[in-house]
Amino acid sequence: MRRTGIRGEDDGGPPRGDTRAEQLGWDDSLYDDGSGRGPGVPAPRRAGDGPPGEPPRRQRARKKPKPRWRRILVWSAGSLAVLIAGVAVAGWLYIEHLNDNITKRDRSNGGSDLQPPEPNANGETPLNILLLGSDSREGEENQELGGATDLAGGPVRADVQMLLHASADRSNMTLISIPRDTQVAIPECTDPETGEVYPADDSDSINNALSHGGPGCVVDTWQNLTGVYIDHFMMVDFAGVVDMADAVGGVPVCVEDNIHDPKSGLRLEAGESVVEGEEALQWLRTRKAFGNGSDVGRTRAQQMYLSNMVDELQNSTSLTNTSELMNLAEAATNALTVNHEIGTVQDLYNLGGDLRQVPNDRINMVTLPWLPDPANPDVTIIPDPEKSEDLFSMVRDDIPLDDPDARPADPEESEDGASASPEETADPADQIGIAVRNGTDDGIQGPVEGRAGDITDELHRLGFTAAATDTTPAAEQSTILYYSDIADQANAEAVAEALGLPHSAIRTSSDVEGLTLVIGADWREGTAYPEAAPDESGSPEEDEPAVDSEDIISGSNGDDCMPVNPDYVW
């Protein structure tokens, strides 16, 4: 019997998912009823066929991709918020009804003590939102759509996860997707509804974090992974995906070849098609039929769907039809679970207005850099330690993906880059007070004992004899040197130069007095700040970009069609 190009599959039947993946996703055999389709998923039909008794739906002809990233704001805020707010014409009582539709949960329940970033010189702060899609089987509609009704009442997973970062000045936006089977550390979390405590797990699929205490645990898992403070989360379930696609009249997607996935039921012709209802869910559930059949391919397909759905929402005729607008508002609010801080229509409307400031061509999507998991390389993956940290560092430092050499303007610099106070000089080294804190706890390896004392001793050796160890608890992914006001800036630069810290490590903060040096998880050993290792020629290696440009889906470019695994082409 001839083997196909996918491990564990042959010509004798439909493709089989791997054992672990079959337990973790929207597209795997746990939804199979023996017919190759999941419960509630219609029989595969050729593109152009409509539901029984209805005229065939229109298949869009393949055409050259065009820019369609009008605004990628958030999963359900942004455009949805604008639409929801439009129902104000129906009166205050209806708005209250919509507010009651929205499910509210705690933002964090994993004990993370990560603090929001300091405002820049203009008083602006970045905004970070975690976007989640759950596989909940709660409710008859979710069970019918997701299949595996035996899982109702069981653990709920977040198979779609994206971190949205809007820059402090709202000039650009970065969205980072993570494949659902990425192995990460999940912290100890307490379920706010039941009080049950879930122990920490050093390595588990990130989509399981949702079952460890709700979306607040997913937030803390991301905060520990990235070192990025997350302001809000938004989550939607199976039924929400279908209802929203129906409410806007379908979402355009594109494939390079005819595609048929027996697992999800997806069957489309090459080119651009409009998917709605259960077919939209089939698109999001399909994995092995996209690209090389990995979770990464599905993540990219989800990015395409979400960006195009928001585009359709903004251009929907529902905006001018009160009845359709109300239906859309019902679908949107019933689909949403958010943190309490944004739990009303007005909150979502304000959030959408804030994010609409981002220019269309400065919105960039990327999948988290990854490597095969050494413990199970054929099934799961892990974050690429170097490239992932570089990417997270860009987010923490508010550096856009489309301009990696940029850095936020220094509060004390003029427009031409010159110092606004060149007359300021550093005090003598022995007169510069420095509080040194141990922030090496990265949430996975734990803190390095005595680290603050080691660096304090090194500062003394360098002449900064007023440096002292500070036992205030701290946790930072990257080493940071804080200074309190302009009078201390020159001192901070002198200390950074002596230790070999990069300029990006110097930041202003109103929560410190003088200088405070927090030793981060990037400097766990040695007294010299780590530098790039030399290559074989003895020259320092050139910095590689955190993300290759071809891996970035940018609002300045048209959307490419999804490549199709040859074994799923019809």
User: What's the CA gap between 466 and 193, in Å, rounded?
Assistant: 49
| Rounded distance between C-alpha atoms, residue 167 and residue 74, angstroms | 14
Band of residue 557 on the pLDDT scale cut at 50, 70, 90 = low
- Phi then psi for residue 372, to 5 deg, are -60, 145
- Residue 406 CA to residue 64 CA, distance in Å, equals 32
| The residue to which tokens 């048209």 are assigned | 558
Q: Read off the pLDDT band of 82 (50, 70, 90).
A: very low
pLDDT score, position 443: 67
| Rounded distance between C-alpha atoms, residue 488 and residue 256, angstroms | 58
Q: How far apart are CA 180 and CA 172, in angstroms?
A: 26
Question: Which residues neighbour 407 within 8 Å (Cβ) at sequence distance 6 or greater?
Answer: 397, 399, 503, 504
Distance CA 553, CA 105 (A): 31
Token representation of residue 96: 């209250």
H or E stretch covering 508: strand 506-508
Q: How far is CA 19 from CA 177, 202, 299, 376, 381, in A?
A: 24, 22, 20, 12, 15
Helix and strand counts by DSSP (H, E) for the chain: 12, 23
Q: Is the pLDDT of residue 559 over 60?
A: no
Extract the tokens encoding 537: 């020629």
The answer on pLDDT for 463 being more than 80 is: yes
Q: Which of 83-92, 288-297, 513-522 has the highest mean pLDDT?
A: 513-522
Please indicate whether residue 41 or residue 514 has the higher confidence score (pLDDT).
Answer: 514
Task: Look at residue 100 in the predicted model and tell me its pLDDT.
Answer: 93
Residue 50: which pLDDT band, with cuts at 50, 70 and 90?
very low
| Class of the CATH domain delimited by 59-112+127-398 | alpha beta
Q: Domain ranges in the chain?
A: 59-112+127-398, 429-519
- The rounded distance, in Å, linking the Cα atoms of 85 and 62 is 36
Contact 324, 318 (CB under 8 A): yes
Residue found under tokens 């391919």: 297
Considering only CA atoms, which of 234, 365, 299 is closest in space to residue 27?
299
Tell me how far the alpha carbon of residue 271 is from its chain's centroid.
Answer: 28
Q: Are 413 and 419 in contact (CB under 8 A)?
A: yes
> Can you give the C-alpha Rg of the chain in angstroms?
25
What is 37-65 written as a DSSP string? S-TTPPPP--TT--STTSPPPPPPPP---
- For the chain, give the percent of residues with pLDDT over 70: 70
Please tell me the predicted confidence (pLDDT) of residue 220: 93
Dump pLDDT digits (tens) for 100-111: 999 999 999 887
Residue 426 per-residue DSSP state: P
What type of residue sits at position 442? D
For residue 540, the tally of other CB atoms under 10 A from its CB is 11
pLDDT at 218: 95
**What pLDDT shows up at residue 339?**
95
- pLDDT higher at 361 or 289: 289
Which band of pLDDT confidence, cut at 50, 70 and 90, is reported for residue 436?
very high
> How far is Cα 537 from Cα 179, in angstroms, rounded to an integer?
37
More reliable by pLDDT, 411 or 106: 106
Identify the three-state secondary structure at position 463: coil
Q: What does the pLDDT look like over 186-232, one tens digit per residue?
A: 999 998 888 999 999 989 999 999 999 899 999 999 998 888 999 99
More confident residue, 251 or 485: 251
Mean pLDDT throughout 84-98? 64
Residue with tokens 């970070």: 128
- Grade residue 334 by pLDDT with cuts at 50, 70 and 90: confident
- Of 152-156, 205-209, 340-344, 393-397, least confident by mean pLDDT is 152-156
Model confidence band, residue 38 (pLDDT cutoffs 50, 70, 90): very low
CA atoms within 13 A on the CB side of 9: 15
Do residues 104 and 337 make contact, with C-beta atoms less than 8 angstroms apart? yes
- Which of 547-563 are b and which e, b meaning 16 or more Cβ less than 10 Å from the residue's Cβ? beeeebbbbeeebebbe
CA dihedral 452, 457, 463, 464 (to 10 degrees): 30
What single string gives the DSSP state of each residue in 87-146? GGGG-HHHHHHHHHHSEEE-S--S-----PPPP-TTS---EEEEEEEE----SHHHHHHH
Confidence label for 244 from pLDDT (cuts 50, 70 and 90): confident
Q: Tell whether the model's pLDDT for residue 253 goes beyond 80.
A: yes
Identify the pLDDT of residue 88.
46
Q: How far apart are the first and last CA of the chain?
A: 20
Tell me the CA distances in angstroms from 488 to 415, 471, 508, 517, one per residue in order.
21, 22, 9, 13
pLDDT (0 to 100) of residue 40: 39
Give yes or no for residue 307 having a pLDDT over 90. no
Mean pLDDT taken over the chain: 75
What is the pTM assigned to this prediction? 0.65
Percent helix, strand and coil across the chain, each rounded to 5?
30, 20, 50
User: Is the pLDDT at 441 greater than 60, yes or no?
Assistant: yes
